[in-house]
Amino acid sequence: MQKPLLIIGNKNYSSWSLRAWLLLKAFNVDFDEQPIELFHPSATPILNEHAPTGKVPVLVYGEGDEKVTVWDTLAIAMHINEYLTDINLWTGISKSDTNAQTDNQDRINSAYCQSIIAEMHSGFMSIRNEMPMNIRATAKIQPSTACLADIARIETIFAECLKDRPEDSFLFGAFTAADVFFAPVVLRLQTYADASNITLQPLTKQYCQTLVNHPHIQAWQKSALQETRIIEEDEAGEILSLVGVLAN
Ligand SMILES: N[C@@H](CCC(=O)N[C@@H](CS)C(=O)NCC(=O)O)C(=O)O
Mean pLDDT to the nearest integer, 190-207: 98
Q: Which residue stretches of 51-193 are H helix?
A: 73-79, 98-102, 104-122, 125-130, 145-162, 177-192
Ligand 1 centroid–CA 55 distance in Å is 5
Cβ-contact 227, 10 below 8 angstroms: yes
Residues 86-109 as b/e (b if ≥16 CB within 10 A, e otherwise) read ebbbbbbbeeeeeebeeeeebeeb
Q: Indicate the SS3 state at residue 201.
A: coil
**pLDDT, tens digit, for every residue of 229-243?**
999 999 999 999 999
Ligand 1 centroid–CA 94 distance in Å is 30
Strands 58-61 and 238-242: unpaired
pLDDT, residue 98, reads 65
Strand partners, 140: 238
DSSP secondary structure code for residue 225 in this structure: T
- Which strand (E) or helix (H) includes residue 32? strand 32-35
Q: Could you count the other beta carbons within 10 Å of the beta carbon of residue 126?
A: 17
Q: Is the peptide bond before 57 cis (omega within 30 degrees of 0)?
A: yes
What residue's CA is closest to ligand 1, atom 2? 72
Ligand 1 centroid–CA 7 distance in Å is 11
Atom of ligand 1 nearest to the CA of 74: 19
Q: Which residues are near ligand 1 (CB < 6 Å)?
A: 9, 14-17, 38, 54-57, 72-74
**pLDDT, tens digit, for every residue of 19-30?**
999 999 999 999
Task: Tell me what percent of the residues of the chain surpass a pLDDT of 90.
Answer: 95
**Which domains are present in the chain?**
5-247 (1.20.1050.130)
What residue's CA is closest to ligand 1, atom 11? 55
pLDDT category, 117, cuts 50, 70, 90? very high
- Among 54-58, 103-107, 133-137, name the one with the lowest average pLDDT: 103-107
Mean pLDDT to the nearest integer, 197-201: 97
**pLDDT, tens digit, for every residue of 76-99?**
999 999 999 999 999 999 999 867
pLDDT category, 100, cuts 50, 70, 90? low
pLDDT, residue 54, reads 97
pLDDT category, 103, cuts 50, 70, 90? confident
**pLDDT, tens digit, for every residue of 202-219?**
999 999 999 999 999 999
What value does the mean pLDDT of the chain take?
A: 96
Ligand 1 centroid–CA 45 distance in Å is 17
pTM to 2 decimal places:
0.97
User: Cα-Cα-Cα-Cα dihedral of 6, 8, 14, 15, to 10°?
Assistant: -10
Strand partners, 172: 174
Give whole-number Cα distances, 75 to 57, 156, 170, 244, in Å. 10, 26, 23, 32
pLDDT, residue 101, reads 62
Atom of ligand 1 nearest to the CA of 121: 19
